[in-house]
Amino acid sequence: MDRRTKIVATIGPASDDVDTLTRMIDAGMDVARLNFSHGTPEEKARTAQRVRAAADRLERPVAILQDLPGPKLRIGPLDEVAELKPGDRVTFEAGADGAGDAERMSVAWPGLADALSPGDVLYLTDGTVRLRVETVRRAEHAVETVVELGGTVSSRQGLNVPGELADLPSVGEEDLELLRFGESLGVDLVALSFVRRPEDVAEVRRHTRLPLIAKIEKPQAVEFAEQIIHAADCVMVARGDLGIELEIEEVPLVQKHVIALAGGLARPVITATQMLDSMVASSRPTRAEVTDVANAILDGTDALMLSQETAVGAHPVESVAMMASIARRTEREAPYGHWNETRVRRLERHDQDPAYTVAYNACAAARQLDLAALVVPTLSGRSARIISAHRPQVPIVALSPGKETVRRCSLMWGVQAARMRRHEVTEELIADAARRVVELGWAKPGQRVGITAGLPSGRPGTTSLFQVQTV
């Protein structure tokens, strides 16, 4: 049985060519992440074209994930990399003109000075640089700070202010413009940064039909985690900013909590940030990183994400291959088919939706009848997602007439996806699904598979039937 946990890889200068992308897909990349916080939209458009070319070369579905910047404070451009030392003084000014330096940096949000007081703490460079506010000049929209922990700072890096900045807009016009641009590129999924409440997801939902991934990286998001997960199509445990906004020892517990919530709500969950961070420079990960990846899988994550490892690291292909290798080994011991009772109980609460009942019984039938696979014809991917949440022991084969749906299934645990023509008659749908799974080599003639279907055929959200077929 092939690997079931999916791999999301961030594309950057180290991986932004067709040959490297092809090798990454061959090594196990299922989803290519384009981080719109860095680079220009035109550069992302070229990257998207290369991802599609690499996927076509291997004839494999690869989803493209657009990661929006969100309402994150960022410093403006610097004339060169700034080396900050303890005791240095740095002034942050809203709307300052020109490139900044080690003494003066611009921020785009004019409300920063109003939100801070002397004694408050700021962080740069993912928390490695710590500054303490000394003076606030509100009339000038300026904040004077002193460096407590030094480090290297580059243009456009994030500026973290622990706590809630109530006046910071949840969805800015810049994000909406980038969202429209992503739609024009044909991205498959959209990640929303710094979600604080379910209303943030709902606001973006008004502007797009693309599946939305809510990134949990603020204390407010942890507080409203269940509602946010319910509002979104997927969730990401974004441990980088989460470890700055919360006490760092809280992060492992939040990760486990969010993974459990997402599983019980049948939402895919991505675990992200520094999973194989030493492979940015080294050809091998640390033992602790391997253990971290394995534990996320055992907790129930659907996907694992590589960030700097594949974006700017020296070993992007090897990082993907290592992640895939850890996943395969861990999955041999994971308790699939006997998943934790909390998840099963939560999934069973959807008693008014036949799709959940069909999914539960399909997985039970797969165990009891020793089926070779569960075959899921689907228009939107929803039926495959619900079956995936039940963690069956057999492969899940999603068949869809929509190439976008096939690619989006690349994020779903245990799901292999391929194209199949649309059917208006349920009997024809079931028969063609049985033929197609043999053509693809995912079941052998004479084996039994379980096939889900709906009445009437051809309409999303109608899954209500399960049939066992000999293919």
Is-contact 307 272, C-beta < 8 A? yes
Q: How many CB atoms lie within 10 A of CB 1?
A: 11
Per-residue confidence at 93, pLDDT binned at 50, 70, 90?
Answer: very high
Q: Any idea what the CATH number is for the domain that residue 326 is in?
A: 3.20.20.60
Q: Kindly name the residue from 50, 215, 239, 408 that is annotated as catalytic.
A: 215
Q: Is the pLDDT of residue 1 over 60?
A: no
Annotation marks residue 33 as catalytic: yes
- Angstrom distances, CA of residue 109 to CA of 90, 93, 150, 170, 269: 17, 9, 24, 13, 31
Q: 219 exposed, middle or buried (CB, 10 Å; 0-12, 13-18, 19+)? A: middle
User: Which domain does 224 fall in, by range?
Assistant: 6-70+170-331
Annotation marks residue 74 as catalytic: yes
181 and 294 belong to one structural domain: yes
| Tokens 């456009």 found at | 156
Distance (Å, whole) CA 208 – CA 192: 12
Q: Any idea what the CATH number is for the domain that residue 345 is in?
A: 3.40.1380.20
Pairing relation of β-strands 6-10 and 104-107?
unpaired
Q: Is the pLDDT of residue 340 over 70?
A: no
Per-residue confidence at 25, pLDDT binned at 50, 70, 90?
Answer: very high
Q: Kindly name the residue from 10, 145, 273, 357 that is annotated as catalytic.
A: 273
| Tokens 């009445």 found at | 455
Annotation marks residue 273 as catalytic: yes
Q: Is the pLDDT of residue 456 over 80?
A: no
246 and 363 belong to one structural domain: no
The whole-model pTM stands at: 0.90
Domain boundary among 282, 305, 331: 331
How many domains is the chain built from? Answer: 3
Q: Which of 357, 305, 428, 432 has the alpha carbon at shortest distance from 418?
A: 432
43 and 140 belong to one structural domain: no
Is residue 336 one of the residues assigned to a domain?
no
Domain boundary among 310, 331, 352: 331
Which one is predicted more confidently, 146 or 99? 146
Copy the structure tokens of residue 138.
């509100």
Q: Kindly name the residue from 3, 23, 33, 104 that is annotated as catalytic.
A: 33
Annotation marks residue 46 as catalytic: no
Structure confidence by residue, pLDDT tens digits, 408-448: 999 999 999 999 999 888 889 999 999 999 999 999 999 99
DSSP secondary structure string, 214-261? Answer: EEE-SHHHHHTHHHHHHHSSEEEEEHHHHHHHS-GGGHHHHHHHHHHH
The pLDDT value recorded for residue 341 is 62
The pLDDT value recorded for residue 424 is 80
The pLDDT value recorded for residue 90 is 96
Pairing relation of β-strands 303-306 and 6-10?
parallel
| Tokens 């490139």 found at | 99
What's the mean pLDDT in 266-275? 96
Pairing relation of β-strands 269-272 and 234-238?
parallel
Per-residue confidence at 299, pLDDT binned at 50, 70, 90?
Answer: very high
Q: Kindly name the residue from 57, 72, 74, 448 that is annotated as catalytic.
A: 74
CA angle, 271 as apex, 267 and 273 as ends, to 5°?
150
